[in-house]
Amino acid sequence: MAGVNVGDVDIGAQYTQRPMKFLLPSSCIACKKFQAFSICDKCLKLIKNKQTHRCRQCALPCQAQKLICDLCQRHPPSFDSTICLDGYGGILTEALQDYKYQGKVALATCFTDAWKCAFQNERLFHEEIDWMIPVPLSIKKLHHRGFNQSWELCKRFAKTFNKNADPYILGRNHIEGDQAHATREERFTRLINTFRVNPKRLHHIENQHIVIVDDVMTTGATLNIMAKLLKDFGAQSVHNWVILRTSL
Ligand SMILES: [Zn+2]
Ligand SMILES: [Zn+2]
């Protein structure tokens, strides 16, 4: 099925109508120099040059001759691959923070454009993708932030690359508690209980190739739990597309 299936209701639409915050930038999102495109050639070149030395599975920087990093070899994650546009702390960090915390939702389009430019010759867009999904937010968090930064990227990616997107495959519970003072084990248990599969969308998981879209990947624990859940319910492969990747 071609095109974008955004489900019954666009969960972010009611919040993305506030006009002033969502103006498109008229300059490169990285260096801020005025130009017609979302990202200038110079910044694009900087980003592209960093792509060659990352682990194929988790996108952490690794030695050029290695396809998979030592960490993934020792503890293989449930997801099959990760692609990031750049590292956290690099030239896109400020734009990403503006996007996420200042509510500049239009920057999602710029990131998608930059992604397309950076990877236009790569074979990843020819790989089989059945569904693109966001990291879901709990209803409480969605009301607080006003939009799901992951879904805003996801639906633009899906439209750009003519793939299906579905924000309702996984749901997220709001887990109360003091996250900052929780032990590692407590955080892990909470994370496992955080996500749930939508029983009405099982046919979007079984034997499907799924891409999870997110803005920033830090430890990868959240994406790993999601990938495990999707594979437990029969997903054939799970891949991550993230804008920025932190180094551990
Ligand atoms: Zn630039
Ligand atoms: Zn790795």
CATH of the domain at 165: 3.40.50
Q: Which pLDDT score, from 0 to 100, does residue 248 have?
A: 72
User: 97 alpha carbon to ligand 1 midpoint, in Å?
Assistant: 17
CA atoms within 13 A on the CB side of 209: 10
Residue 121 CB burial class (10 angstroms; 0-12, 13-18, ≥19): exposed
Q: Give the model's pLDDT for residue 83.
A: 92
Counting ligands in written order, the one closest to the CA of 33 is 1
In this predicted model, which residue has the larger pLDDT, 181 or 2?
Answer: 181
Residue predicted with more confidence, 187 or 16? 187
Q: 228 falls in which pLDDT band (50, 70, 90)?
A: very high
Longest dimension (CA), the chain: 49
21-52 pLDDT, tens per residue? 445 556 899 998 887 778 888 998 888 776 66
Is residue 150 one of the residues assigned to a domain?
yes
Please state the rounded mean pLDDT for residues 152-175: 93
- Report yes or no on 170 lying in a domain: yes
pLDDT score of 51: 62
Residue 2 within a domain: no
| Per-residue pLDDT, 122 | 67
pTM: 0.85
pLDDT for 156: 96
116 Cα to the center of ligand 1, angstroms: 16
Tell me, yes or no, whether 1 lies in a domain: no
Residue 24 lies in a domain: no
Mean pLDDT of the chain: 84
Distance in Å, CA 193 to ligand 1 centroid: 41
The answer to whether residue 196 sits within a structural domain is yes
Range of the domain at 52: 30-62+72-245
| Ligand closest to CA 31 | 1
**Separation CA 58–CA 77 (nearest Å):** 8
Q: Dihedral sign for Cα 141, 89, 53, 41, please.
A: positive
Question: 11 in a domain, yes or no?
Answer: no
Q: Is the pLDDT of residue 170 over 60?
A: yes
CA of 13 to the centre of ligand 1 (A): 30
List the shell of residues around ion ligand 1, using CB closer than 5 Å. 28, 30-31, 40, 43
pLDDT tens digit sequence for 65-85: 889 999 999 999 999 999 999
- Identify the three-state secondary structure at position 86: strand
CA of 26 to the centre of ligand 2 (A): 36
Per-residue confidence (pLDDT) for residue 17, from 0 to 100: 42
Quote the number of domains for the chain: 1
CA 49–ligand 2 middle distance (angstroms): 19
Checking DSSP bridges between strand 170-172 and strand 237-245, what pairing results, if any? unpaired
